[in-house]
Structure 1
Amino acid sequence: MSQGVLRASRVFVTGLKVQAEIGVHKHEIGRVQPLVVDVELEVPTVASDRLAETVNYETILAAAQAVAAEGHLHLVETFAHRLASRCLADPRVSQARIRVTKPLALEPHAVGAGVEIVIGRG
């Protein structure tokens, strides 16, 4: 069997539910509301069966929960950038794609609204 040369893999978590104090409107201040977060991290490909040699999904969950626990944020963009920074703190991560959806933002007119950012090492 022929093996190709792989240089990177993408570790991802989709549909991560986080409760956060977020928003700029008066009715959002001091109120917790749901966010749905998708995270995709580009990491080196490893031909190993050891969890320690890749990014653990639970680390991504913990990072998102930690950002939410920091206190009130005005914008989902801020949440996304803070989460990307936490993910990029792992030196194996070369790029982070973070998508944050705020399901209640335009309810009942839309399922959600949000932002997607892509940040890489420069």
Structure 2
Amino acid sequence: MSDRITLAGLRARGRHGVYDFEREQGQEFVVDAVLELDLAPAARSDAVTDTVHYGELAGRLVAVVTGEPVNLIETLAARLLDVCLADPRVTAATVTVHKPEAPVPHTFTDVAVTMTRVRPR
């Protein structure tokens, strides 16, 4: 499938991490999501009901980031993938979770995990 919807740089504050202070203080997480699906029906009809509504998707992803804390951003990415794949039109999804404030004792720009899942046929 060559059609994609990309939602990049979605920011939300979450309390994920292995350290107590990460759970207590929280920090910003940045999410990129790429959905693969056939966009031809939406292009023909010009109706939002024939595609994934990226505004609603953003709300569901933010709810996961701001919701129940997890230790690892790998777990967070897997939960976000579940949200992306909840729409049966989505054949595959890739999610990147950025943790730019990760407790790393060195100068760095970003820590990120990227995971891709393909819907079984």
TM-score where L is the length of structure 1: 0.87
- Kept in 1, the 8 Å contact 2:12–2:66? The answer is no
SS at match of 2:30: strand
Aligned residue for 1:3?
A: none
Higher share of residues assigned strand = 1
Following superposition, the deviation at residue 8 of structure 1 comes to: 4.2
Once the two structures are superposed, what CA deviation does each residue of 1:43-95 show, in whole Å capped at 9, x if it has no partner?
Answer: 11223211111111112211211212332111111111101101111000010
Q: 2:116: which partner in 1?
A: 118
Q: Does 1:9 align with 2:3?
A: yes
How many residue pairs align between the two structures? 116
For structure 1, the 5+ residue unaligned runs are: 1-6
Equivalent residue number for residue 107 of structure 2: 109
The structure that has the greater radius of gyration is: 1
Report deviation, 1:107: 6.9
Q: TM-score, normalised by structure 2?
A: 0.87
Distance 1:103 1:64, change over 3 A: same
Q: Secondary structure at the match of 1:119?
A: strand
Q: Which has the higher helix share?
A: 2
For residues 54 and 8 of structure 1, do their structure 2 counterparts lie closer, same or farther at Cα, with a shift above 3 Å needed? farther
Hey, which bits of structure 1, 4+ residues long, moved more than 4 A? Answer: none
Matched residue type, 2:101: L
User: Is 1:68 aligned to 2:65, yes or no?
Assistant: yes
Name stretches of at least 5 consecutive residues in structure 2 with no aligned partner: none
